[in-house]
Amino acid sequence: MSKLEAQLIQMENALNKLKEVLALPETEIVRDSAIQRFEFTLDLTWKTTKTYLEEKEGVVCVSPKECFREAFRQGLINYDSEWITMVDLRNETVHTYNEENAQKIYLQLSSTIGKFEELLNKLKQ
């Protein structure tokens, strides 16, 4: 199994766990778990995208935002600005000790699922 294949499996598993927790009724524990799973999913997604770009396109990128901008240039995602916003959202998760901020982040997580799924499908092709 190649590095990319292994990462695709990890990315898909992380996404499935994120979807699983978002399907549960909201509680503080569910909210915090969803935020943590979002972090894992985004981290695995950008690292998988990085590997894909290196192996398939010969392009090297070193940061999440740089990789998503390149993924847009390569036609893997439709809007890089949405992904940049997701990276910013992920960076805000370090402030989840603030209830108001944690709730704000949690309410945005459902809108990320379709983007993760779309990119996952493109990377698997």
- What are the tens digits of pLDDT across the range 9-18? 999 999 999 9
Question: pTM value?
Answer: 0.93
Alpha carbon separation from 4 to 23, 48, 89, 91 (Å, rounded): 28, 7, 25, 25
The confidence score (pLDDT) of residue 94 equals: 80
Does the pLDDT at position 40 exceed 90? Answer: yes
Check 31, 69, 73, 95 and give the catalytic one.
Answer: 95
The confidence score (pLDDT) of residue 59 equals: 96
The confidence score (pLDDT) of residue 103 equals: 92
Q: What CATH number should be reported for the domain holding residue 59? A: 1.20.120.330
Residue closest to 30 by CA, chosen among 95, 87, 109? 109
pLDDT per residue as tens digits for the range 55-98 = 999 999 999 999 999 999 999 999 889 999 999 999 988 876 78
Does the pLDDT at position 27 exceed 80? Answer: yes
The confidence score (pLDDT) of residue 20 equals: 98
The confidence score (pLDDT) of residue 66 equals: 96
Structure tokens that stand for 96 in this block: 């989840």
Known catalytic residue: 69? Answer: no
The confidence score (pLDDT) of residue 93 equals: 86
Supply the range of the domain harboring residue 42.
3-18+27-124
The confidence score (pLDDT) of residue 97 equals: 73
Q: Provide the residue type at 72 as one letter.
A: F
Known catalytic residue: 90? Answer: yes
Place of tokens 């995208």: 49
Residue closest to 104 by CA, chosen among 21, 38, 24? 38
The confidence score (pLDDT) of residue 6 equals: 97
Q: How many domains does the structure of the chain reveal? A: 1
98 or 37: whose pLDDT is higher? Answer: 37
Question: How many beta carbons lie within 10 A of that of residue 18, not counting itself?
Answer: 25
